[in-house]
Amino acid sequence: MTSPQWVKWLPSFLKNRLEGRHELQKELTNTGWMFFDKLLRMAAGLLIGVAVARYLGPDGYGLLSFAGSYVMLFSALALFGLESLVVRELVTHPAERSSILGTAFSIRMLAGIVSVPLCLAALLFIRPDDRIMLVMVALLSSALVFQAFDVIDLWFQSRVATRNVVLVRMVAFSISAAAKLACVLYAGSISAVVVATAIEALLAACGLIVVYKMAGERLLDWRFSATQFRRLVTAALPMMLSGIVLMIYLRIDQVMLGAMAPQQEVGLYAAAVRISEIWYFVPAAIVSSVFPGIVSLKNNSPDAFSLRIQQLYKLMTFMGYVIAISVTLLAPWIIQLLFGASYAPAAPLLAILIWAGLFANITVARNAHLIALDRGQALLWCTSAGAASNILLNLLLIPPYGATGAAVSTCLSYWVAAHGACFFSATLRPVAWMITKSLIYPRWW
């Protein structure tokens, strides 16, 4: 097997370490493409997001953020917890890929179709007289149906070959970003901005179908299997419930803040959240690329599996500390530069929220660890503890402290979900000590 072209440009000491390690080279190539995609999204998305935030102002940006956060609460139901599970099944049973993909697509399509009316019905109960919000949520929730085609992405992930998927997502994102920029430049309405956001999912679905055919595969070969359905649904239910709870503790802060504080507070909080979360793709990209190899180690070499997991925890923690410390020191300057004087009160919020990223990093690694061990119910326990603590803390802290209380609640609940909850389960206590070790002694090497 020949090495990728980029290897020959490396310094000799790195080239020697990679020589003959073709699986690692493949993982690094895959991670590189994912980083390229996410870096483009981070840079362009930040610039477009800032332009939209400046154009709409804190009040309008608060409305847009509330709608996005609200729809996100239902995305876990539409995804049905199948992401890593389908990748694991494709790696373990490659000969059954047609039935795995066909059944997973059917589950996701059904879940997406159910999610949209549930989303709208709940909104009518919460905000019965807000017709503008109803239109915004209806447009954004259409993406929940098109996400069924993301099973194609999962197939490419199982092969550690996401180059074409990255290119497709880049094109879809670029068209959506250009449409949002046009709304800002030509004074479009907030509904026009929402339409520009919603078209990305449709474009990505069309592109995924094209690259799947280019890979020599056919959607018509997919088939529904009752056996696969029972196996996937049984395994995915804890993951889906965990995902719903995860979305609650990730996004309930903005929804509760919108219900308990002025809309301007939501806009300021959303600006801080946008900055604090722009780098979350880094741990996700790393873990997505190494996950197939981790699953193989778990099946073939338990000692090497444990070592690799501990290394992953330490790397995620090291990255979290570097980002959190840097942004805490630079928060006022970052907010002033990007969002302007009207968003200045968001700087203290950013200094708090950025520390939630440390525990978000750990959570990504911890989730991969538990999925590889087939402990989906443990994930549900951790995310439930995080969601419950977030709701409780928001109820206690938002009324007296507003957006600052929501930021503190988010940071503390992320720690509960990533680390604290693990100590209360005998099964997860070894995982808790591995995370503790990484928090005390993080390292990137």
In angstroms, how far is the first alpha carbon of the chain from the final one? 27
**Token pair for 60:** 């309008």
Domain boundaries in the chain?
Answer: 22-440
pLDDT given at position 84: 77
370 closest CA partner among 181, 232, 239: 239
Angle formed at CA 302 by CA 296 and CA 308, multiple of 5 degrees: 70
The model's pTM: 0.74
Per-block mean pLDDT, blocks of 10 residues, the chain (445 long): 54 57 60 70 82 91 90 89 84 88 94 94 87 91 93 84 82 93 91 92 94 90 91 84 76 85 87 87 78 75 83 91 95 92 93 94 89 78 88 94 94 92 87 91 72
pLDDT given at position 389: 93
**Token pair for 166:** 């990255």
Q: Are 364 and 250 in contact (CB under 8 A)?
A: no
Q: Are 67 and 197 in contact (CB under 8 A)?
A: no
pLDDT given at position 34: 66
pLDDT given at position 291: 77
pLDDT given at position 206: 95
**Token pair for 5:** 């072209």
- DSSP per residue over 180-231, as a string? HHHHHHTT--HHHHHHHHHHHHHHHHHHHHHHHHHTT--GGG----HHHHHH
